[in-house]
């Protein structure tokens, strides 16, 4: 079955450490996205990528970095510069272009930094 | 910039009854798409229904329907015959239809729906 896989489901890190969240899709989607979800704030866009080897900052990119070396993969690194990294992170993908294709989401990663 | 507003942080409905969740949005574009997503306690985001702005007819998916008022920039979700499994957080989302756009979804802050047995 096609889908988006995020791993791990739960992640714990000490403050000051970088951590990388994995996102893999086998839907042949061009575009991939990282959202952050906090209580009462909905989903906010961190980074997105329309094609391989290209990505753009979203609304809250500070303290995060990404790479898009393969179409299937879009890992997110939460760096020590991110002041409030504890959150729920969702990866999504869709076909590129002006269409009504919905975003497909992974199951998310809950990151806790202490 | 486009914005999406959900003014009801929480709603409650009795099982088998009907409930309407509100969503308004702000945009200067004429061509766009609107979506409702459901996020149950598992936190998986599930597409409930979608609407193309150029279509006047309101979208319907089984017990779920929308009331799309383009001039008023309103996009409410009606859930009929509510079931216990409908309990979830519901997000309204906007997406531009313009070519070359990011295709990103812009989300509202969500409405938490409780279904009372």
Separation CA B94–CA B101 (nearest Å): 13
Contact across the interface for A107 and B42, Cβ inside 8 Å: yes
Band the pLDDT of A1: cuts 50, 70, 90.
low
pLDDT in tens, A92-111: 998 876 666 788 999 999 99
> In this predicted structure, what is the pLDDT of residue A12?
93
**Closest in B44, B50, B101 to A102, CB measured:** B50
Distance from CA of B16 to the nearest CA of A (A): 28
pLDDT above 70: percentage of residues in chain B: 96
Nearest residue on chain B to A46, alpha-carbon basis: B104
**Residue pointed to by tokens 């990528």:** A49
Q: Which fold has domain B3-116?
A: Immunoglobulin-like (2.60.40)
Q: Do A45 and B103 touch (CB under 8 A)?
A: no
Residue of A nearest to B34 (CA): A100
- Give A96 or B51, the one with higher predicted confidence: B51
Nearest-CA distance from A17 to chain B in Å?
26
pLDDT digits (tens, 9 = 90+) for B55-99: 989 999 999 999 999 999 999 999 999 999 999 999 999 998 875
Instruction: Decide if B33 touches A, using CB distance below 8 A.
Output: yes
pLDDT tens per residue across span B35-48: 999 999 989 999 99
The shortest C-alpha distance from B68 to chain A (Å) reads 16
Average pLDDT over residues A72-78: 97
According to DSSP, the residues that pair with B11 across neighbouring strands are: B113
Of B47, B99, B102, the CB nearest to A102: B47
Check: CB of residue A61 under 8 Å from CB of residue A73: no
CB-CB neighbors (< 8 A) of A31 in chain B: 103
């Amino acid at each position: 079955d096609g889908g988006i896989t995020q791993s791990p489901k739960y992640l714990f890190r000490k403050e000051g450490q970088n951590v990388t969240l994995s996102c893999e899709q086998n839907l042949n989607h061009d575009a991939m996205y990282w959202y952050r979800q906090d209580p009462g704030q909905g989903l906010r866009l961190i980074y997105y990528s329309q094609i391989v080897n290209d990505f753009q900052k979203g609304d809250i990119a500070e303290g995060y970095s990404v790479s898009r070396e393969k179409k299937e993969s879009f890992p997110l690194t939460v760096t020590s510069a991110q002041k409030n990294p504890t959150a729920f992170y969702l990866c999504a993908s869709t076909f590129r272009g002006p269409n009504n294709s919905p975003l497909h989401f992974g199951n998310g990663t809950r990151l806790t930094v202490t | 910039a486009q914005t999406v507003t959900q003014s009801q942080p929480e709603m409650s409905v009795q099982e088998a009854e009907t409930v309407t969740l509100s969503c308004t949005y702000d945009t200067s574009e004429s061509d766009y798409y609107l979506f409702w997503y459901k996020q149950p306690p598992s936190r998986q985001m599930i597409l409930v229904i979608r609407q193309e702005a150029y279509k006047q007819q309101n979208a319907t998916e089984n017990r779920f329907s929308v009331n799309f008022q383009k001039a008023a920039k309103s996009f409410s979700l009606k859930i009929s015959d509510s079931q216990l499994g409908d309990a979830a957080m519901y997000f309204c989302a906007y997406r531009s239809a313009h070519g070359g756009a990011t295709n990103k979804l812009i989300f509202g802050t969500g409405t938490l729906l409780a279904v009372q047995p």
